[in-house]
Structure 1
Amino acid sequence: MTPNAEGNPPGGREPVTEFRPAGGADGPAGASPDHELPAEELPPDLNQAILEAAKQVASILKKHGHAFALAGSVAVYAHGGTGNLQHDADFCIRPEDADAVVATLEEAGLPVFTPPEDWLVKAKCLGQDIDLIFELASRPVTTELLERATELPVDSVHMPVLAPTDLMRALLAAFSEHHCDFGAVLPIARQLRERVDWQAIRGEYGDAPMPAAFLFLLERLEVIAPRGGER
């Protein structure tokens, strides 16, 4: 899951409606069970299971014309990163679209629920966790953010994928004294380093203590050039 640095909504945004699975835990009555597969069709490992869930959710959102972008470790994979995925599939959606997206997923038979965090809603697909994020690094997901996404294939399904610079922005913005796992972000920075606008990252976060420390680490490891240098 892509973390939110503060966990607080920006000023002025109305709280998102509390969503409940329609028709019980398995979704609305009569809906096709898009979140289930027969045992013999289940993917052989967790990484593939997460990919299959991401593909299925993306297909549903595309079919109904929702604006979204794939985020998190599956987005890194789509940009050429390793297939060592994390615990879920993340999608960015705009706050104003949250109700409609939830309704679409429930109609498709996916259970959707509200966690304690107020910057996302969660769903289940093929037994995997799906995070629908409408605040990324304490900022609302915007049309501009989604428009910067690139259409890429995730296995056999094309979908909009968050731009590498935006992925790195979200990861660095989430660093704090309570959440500062450089080890988890370092391999992502290595994998995406040629695709990230590091000058823009420095301009936005380079003076904040934790992001600045991480950027210094990247310089010392020769992942990126020192400030003002070339790589």
Structure 2
Amino acid sequence: MQPDDREEIRDLLKRTAVALKEGDVPFALCGGYAAWMRGAPEPDHDADFLVPAAESERAAKVLAEAGLEVADPAEDWLTKVVQGNSFVDVLWRVCGRPAEADLIDRAEIMPVLSVHMPVLAATDIVVTKLMALDEHYCDFSRMLPVARALREQVEWARVGRDTADNDFAAVFLVLLGRLGIVDVPPGDPTGS
């Protein structure tokens, strides 16, 4: 990502958050930028917000009414907000499941680039990132810096329980234990 692109995505992130706040749409910053706010490296791609599935249509309307360019992608689980070469994904499904309000309710209000907004809890960031791993996308090199940076903020036993059905997540947790990043016993993804 070039410096101009980074500023563009940061600007779009802020504008999207302000529009959702002013439109009274429940939301939380999620994905790489949420992890960045909690100490992980800054991502080199888009930003992501999560809204409850029941608020998806209203969120898109609020963003358009705020003057943002809203694109309707082929995927049926997100809306894209576009500015130049940058975009923000507004998701209402995570790993095939509708986003529930309790996930957003657990978010913590934090200053993000001078805008106060809800940021997904560290445990929820890790769970959602791990649940996205599958045979088509299994890039542990992107996950390792996040896990290392957030390790003291995460409830690892809950991560193990919430991702137990995902073999790729289970293997990643074993890797974290073997590397000494977290105390997850090898072969026991629940950490209990």
Tell me, yes or no, whether TM beats 0.5.
Answer: yes
Aligned to 1:177: 135
Query: 2:167 aligns to what?
Result: 209
Query: Where in structure 2 are the equivalents of 1:28-47 lying within 5 Å?
Result: 44-47=3-6
The root-mean-square deviation of aligned C-alpha atoms, in Å, is 1.9
Question: Secondary structure, in 3 states, of the residue corresponding to 2:24?
Answer: coil
Q: Tell me what 2:12 maps to.
A: 53
Structure 2 unpaired stretches of 5+: none
In structure 1, what is the Cα distance between the partners aligned to 2:160 and 2:9? 32
CA distance in 2, matches of 1:162, 1:95: 16
1:75 to 12, 17, 34: 34
Farther-moved stretch of structure 1 (139-148 vs 109-118)? 109-118
TM-score by structure 2 length? 0.89
Pairing of 1:53-202 with structure 2 (within 5 A) = 53-83=12-42, 85-125=43-83, 127-202=85-160
Partner SS for 1:194: helix
Q: Which structure ranks higher in relative contact order (CA pairs < 8 Å, sequence separation ≥ 6)?
A: 1
1:14-33 pair list within 5 angstroms: none
* Contact 1:206/1:215 (<8 A) preserved: no
- The 8 Å contact of residues 93 and 134 in structure 1, kept in 2 or not, is answered as yes
Structure 2 contact 156–184 (Cα < 8 Å) conserved: no
**Contact 1:51–1:154 (CA under 8 A) maintained in structure 2:** no
**Contact 1:113/1:121 (CA < 8 Å) preserved in 2?**
yes
Give the secondary structure class of the aligned counterpart of 2:152.
Answer: coil
CA 1:182–1:98: 2 relative to 1, 3 Å = same
Q: Which has the larger radius of gyration?
A: 1
In structure 1, runs of 5+ residues without a counterpart are 1-42
Q: Distance in 1 between matches of 2:165 and 2:100?
A: 24
Which amino acid in structure 2 is aligned with residue 52 of structure 1?
Answer: D
Query: What letter is aligned with 1:60?
Result: A
Give, in whole Å, the separation in 2 of the partners of 1:206 and 1:82.
Answer: 26
Structure holding more helix per residue: 2
Aligned residues: 186
CA distance in 2, matches of 1:155, 1:165: 22
